[in-house]
Chain A
Amino acid sequence: MKGHWRSAAVLTASVLAGSSPLHAHEDCDDIPQKQRAVVASGESVGPRSQPAAAVTIQLCQYQPGQLEIKAGTTVTWVNQDDIRHTVTLGTPERQENVSLDFPAKGATASYTFDRPGVYEYFCDRHPAMRGQIHVQ
């Protein structure tokens, strides 16, 4: 497993079908079924990664919009808007198969980036919302 999901509070991880050039696709597909079930329950999955980074979702923006992290870092997003947002890897034109759902204000979700690369993401309800993770 090259990366893993971890949840806090109200996390719903949506794993969509399809191929992906990004490692994140493989990350998600590599999560065993048992672990996916644990993710849905809100408990932590796999070994906890360090360090961590945080992104706030507020005013229909990911703040910070660009983040540089080291491989193995777990990024946690927190929704501060009173509306549903997502963190969906890829772009609206080329959506990847990984999507975190933030159904309401206060929802959080995390994702660990184990492989270097540039990961773009967006909100599938508000496609103008874009973020980028640079994993070194």
Chain B
Amino acid sequence: MKIACEKFVGAAVMVALLGAYTASAFAAEMNHHGAMSSDLRTGLNSLFREHVFLAAGATGAALAGRDGEFKAAAGALDGNSIDIAKAIGAVYGAGAEQAFLPLWRKHIGFVVDYTVGVATKDDAKKNKAVTDLVQYTQDFGAFLASANPNLPKDVVANLVKDHVLTLKDVIDAQATGDMNKTFMAIRSAAGHMGMIADPLAAAIVKQFPERFANR
């Protein structure tokens, strides 16, 4: 168990380090005209997958009562949130960046609520968090639909709902202490983020073809 936990921590730290470079480079890249559409797609994929790894690091630490690790993971996760908001801002402007960040952070707060509910075996808290998260998917879908006509609200909402459910699977697996199940769930949740990043990148390229070279 101890070894498994250490491996998990190590993996989270490595992903955080790799992700930090990728995210910063991505935000800078998107500010240049003529950025490659492939850069956009891979950049968004990196940011969103990093989000899952760091979130899993935070929830795993929280459930195990490792406060210091939880705070570190939560801090890194918020850094990832800021990078994602910057990426949105690089495409849609500073106002959109400022509006996006609290919206994005909101769902992390609901995930924390769910984790606390799991840790304390409080079904009411868990159910409320799930309800809040499902409602949140509508807000997120509406935001992106407003930003980009190529992103229907309901489609985005359903994709984000799947993200929420796959992350919920991670937390539920972590609570059981089954590391095989946990890491499989993390892989699944991270893999799903491509289902959000790819169509988002494609929609942005379609919306601003002049800003992204067709590669």
A residues neighboring B (CB under 8 Å):
58-61, 63, 65, 80-83, 125-129
- B146 & A63 in contact (Cβ 8 Å cutoff): no
- Knowing A126-B103, A128-B102, say if A83 contacts B139 (CB, 8 Å): yes
- Kindly list 13 other residue pairs between chains A and B, CB separation below 8 angstroms, not including A59-B96, A82-B146, A125-B139: A59-B99, A60-B99, A60-B143, A63-B95, A81-B143, A81-B146, A82-B141, A82-B142, A82-B153, A83-B141, A126-B102, A126-B103, A126-B139
- B102 & A59 in contact (Cβ 8 Å cutoff): no
- B139 & A61 in contact (Cβ 8 Å cutoff): no
Q: 0/1 per residue, B144-185, Cβ < 8 Å to A?
A: 011100000100000000000000000000000000000000
Interface flag for B208 (CB, 8 Å): no
Give the interface centre of A80, A82, A127 by most chain B CB atoms within 10 Å: A82
Q: Is the interface of B mostly helix, strand, loop or mixed?
A: helix
List the B side residues contacting A82 at CB < 8 Å: 141-142, 145-146, 153
For this complex, into which size category does the number of interface residues on chain B fall?
Answer: 10 to 19
Interface flag for B138 (CB, 8 Å): yes
Give B14 Cβ to nearest chain A Cβ, in Å. Answer: 33
Give B136 Cβ to nearest chain A Cβ, in Å. Answer: 11
- A83 & B102 in contact (Cβ 8 Å cutoff): no
- A61 & B95 in contact (Cβ 8 Å cutoff): yes
Give B80 Cβ to nearest chain A Cβ, in Å. Answer: 18
List the B side residues contacting A129 at CB < 8 Å: 99
Residue of A nearest to B144 (CB): A59
- Knowing A81-B143, A128-B102, say if A59 contacts B153 (CB, 8 Å): no
Give the interface centre of B92, B101, B102 by most chain A CB atoms within 10 Å: B102
- B92 & A59 in contact (Cβ 8 Å cutoff): yes
- A58 & B102 in contact (Cβ 8 Å cutoff): no
- Knowing A82-B153, A126-B103, A129-B99, say if A59 contacts B146 (CB, 8 Å): yes
- A61 & B142 in contact (Cβ 8 Å cutoff): no
* CA–CA, A125 and B143, complex, Å: 13
* CA–CA, A125 and B101, complex, Å: 15
Give the interface centre of A60, A126, A127 by most chain B CB atoms within 10 Å: A60
List the A side residues contacting B103 at CB < 8 Å: 60, 126, 128
List the A side residues contacting B147 at CB < 8 Å: 59
Give the interface centre of A59, A82, A127, A128 by most chain B CB atoms within 10 Å: A59
List the A side residues contacting B146 at CB < 8 Å: 58-60, 80-82
* CA–CA, A131 and B205, complex, Å: 31
- B99 & A81 in contact (Cβ 8 Å cutoff): no
* CA–CA, A61 and B99, complex, Å: 6
Cβ contact of B99, chosen from A80, A83, A125, A128, cutoff 8 A: A128
* CA–CA, A25 and B141, complex, Å: 34
- Knowing A59-B146, A60-B103, A128-B102, say if A83 contacts B138 (CB, 8 Å): yes
